[in-house]
Amino acid sequence: MATWALDPGVTHLNHGSFGACPSEVLEYQAGLRSEMERNPVGFMLHTYQPALETNRSALAKFIGADADGLVFVPNATYGVNSVLRSLEGVLARGAEILLTNQTYNACINAARVTADRIGGSVVVADVPFPVGSSTDVVAAILDSVTEQTALVMLDHVTSPTGAVWPVADIVAALEPDVPVLVDGAHAPGMIELDVSAVGASFYTANCHKWICSPKGAAFLWVDERHRDTIRSASVSHGYNDGWPDSSSRFHAQFDWTGTDDPTARLSVAKALEAVGDHHVDGWAGIRRSNRELVVAGRDIVAEAIGLEGYPVPEDMLGSIAALPLPAPTVAGASIFDELMVDLHHKWKIEVPVFAWPEAPARVIRISAQQYNTIADYERLAEALNAELR
Ligand SMILES: Cc1ncc(COP(=O)(O)O)c(C=O)c1O
């Protein structure tokens, strides 16, 4: 059973933002680093590519994707940027990129840049929150598709609102006519993921969130139809010469994007093995117990803030959950930052508070990972009782 490197004096209820990595995985990564520094050239030119392939194969199996279409990127933001930048030469002038009111801010920015470059526009589908069911999500998104829609960007698990969206249903209604880029930043390790079954043109996600790999490991999977079009946001040797041992031009675009510390992506297989070992039922057990814990934690927090009814039905929850907070007591003022900062400084609780739908209205998002216990949510409830009084 792996242990966590987390500070025991802090209540960690924000696994969603940056993940956390078990000590044994960090030790494994440190071992790779010292091996690399003993002979940097030998490591980069001879050890790196076979180790990358081992990790690619393990990840491909875990996410239900073919390894030929799978590349590592440093984070989901990079994956989204790589797709958008590559499509700039392909999308029609004036085309629309459809995203939603719950899209992650960095990805909205990336889409805006592409829309500007092609003389097009970003269209925002208004998906309800509180949300009644998955069907409401599908309807809200499909209703915003027009003749000009050239790309749809969808979150698999929404960042500010913590809901698992029925991406396969939406993709089925759009592809192959309208390509879909799924941002599954939170999905692998949180929910059962089968990238092939999702059926989108592009799927990017992080390993450093719920797979608990070291930070700087994420992936992009691209459907065969687009593999000649998509290249890394950082163009390197793979664009013409290839990288010596890459199995295809598509892999070569991403396998080497310039010198960096590759040990995070080379530790993904280790994280899959080590975290899976945390539970007698392996990853299925991890996902189930995290979900059960966040459901229980949500009840505790809801009671503390006097919430009646939930904004996301239980069958749309993974292992994060957002709850609306009562409005700030000072009319017109936003205490969005102050509450989160007070919880950090005064209570040593890490939990995100987002403005939603816009300040001063806000939501608090809790998470559940193997290191959490019910006492963590009780402590948050106590803190909220005191701070919101
Ligand atoms: C939906 C979504 N997309 C993208 C990201 C960005 O992840 P990263 O910073 O690892 O690129 C996040 C991070 O929380 C996210 O929630």
Please state the domain count of the chain.
2
pLDDT digits (tens, 9 = 90+) for 305-333: 999 999 999 999 999 999 999 877 665 55
337 pLDDT above the threshold of 60: yes
Query: 283 and 266 in one domain?
Result: no
CA distances from 308 to 34, 181, 211, 323, 325 (A): 54, 35, 33, 11, 11
Query: 330 and 230 in one domain?
Result: no
d(C-alpha 215, C-alpha 323), whole Å? 27
d(C-alpha 360, C-alpha 354), whole Å? 10
- The residue out of 233, 258, 273 marking a domain boundary is 273
Task: With respect to residue 17, please indicate whether it lies within any of the assigned structural domains.
Answer: no
Query: 319 and 238 in one domain?
Result: no
335 pLDDT above the threshold of 80: no
d(C-alpha 40, C-alpha 263), whole Å? 12
Whether 17 lines ligand 1, by a CB cut-off of 6 Å, is: yes
d(C-alpha 324, C-alpha 314), whole Å? 16
User: So what's the pLDDT on residue 355?
Assistant: 86
337: containing domain? 279-387
Distance 155 CA to ligand 1 centre (A): 10
Task: With respect to residue 11, please indicate whether it lies within any of the assigned structural domains.
Answer: no
Instruction: Give the residue-averaged pLDDT of 325-348.
Output: 78
Q: For position 341, which CATH number holds?
A: 3.90.1150.10
Task: With respect to residue 5, please indicate whether it lies within any of the assigned structural domains.
Answer: no
Whether 350 lines ligand 1, by a CB cut-off of 6 Å, is: no
User: So what's the pLDDT on residue 2?
Assistant: 57
User: So what's the pLDDT on residue 329?
Assistant: 63
Whether 217 lines ligand 1, by a CB cut-off of 6 Å, is: no
Instruction: Give the residue-averaged pLDDT of 36-63.
Output: 98
- The residue out of 273, 300, 317 marking a domain boundary is 273
pLDDT digits (tens, 9 = 90+) for 96-155: 999 999 999 999 999 999 999 999 999 999 999 999 999 999 999 999 999 999 999 999
Task: With respect to residue 100, please indicate whether it lies within any of the assigned structural domains.
Answer: yes
Ligand 1, from 104, 105, 204: best to mutate by most atoms within 8 Å of Cβ?
104
Exposed, middle or buried by CB within 10 Å (0-12, 13-18, 19+), for 331?
exposed
Whether 159 lines ligand 1, by a CB cut-off of 6 Å, is: yes
d(C-alpha 101, C-alpha 357), whole Å? 9
pTM summary value? 0.97
User: So what's the pLDDT on residue 230?
Assistant: 97
- The residue out of 273, 302, 322 marking a domain boundary is 273
Ligand 1, from 72, 77, 164: best to mutate by most atoms within 8 Å of Cβ?
77
**How confident is residue 293, by pLDDT bands cut at 50, 70 and 90?**
very high
Task: With respect to residue 290, please indicate whether it lies within any of the assigned structural domains.
Answer: yes
84 pLDDT above the threshold of 60: yes
Distance 41 CA to ligand 1 centre (A): 33
pLDDT digits (tens, 9 = 90+) for 208-248: 999 999 999 999 999 999 999 999 999 999 998 788 889 99
**How confident is residue 361, by pLDDT bands cut at 50, 70 and 90?**
confident
Query: 122 and 106 in one domain?
Result: yes
pLDDT digits (tens, 9 = 90+) for 268-291: 999 999 999 989 999 999 999 999
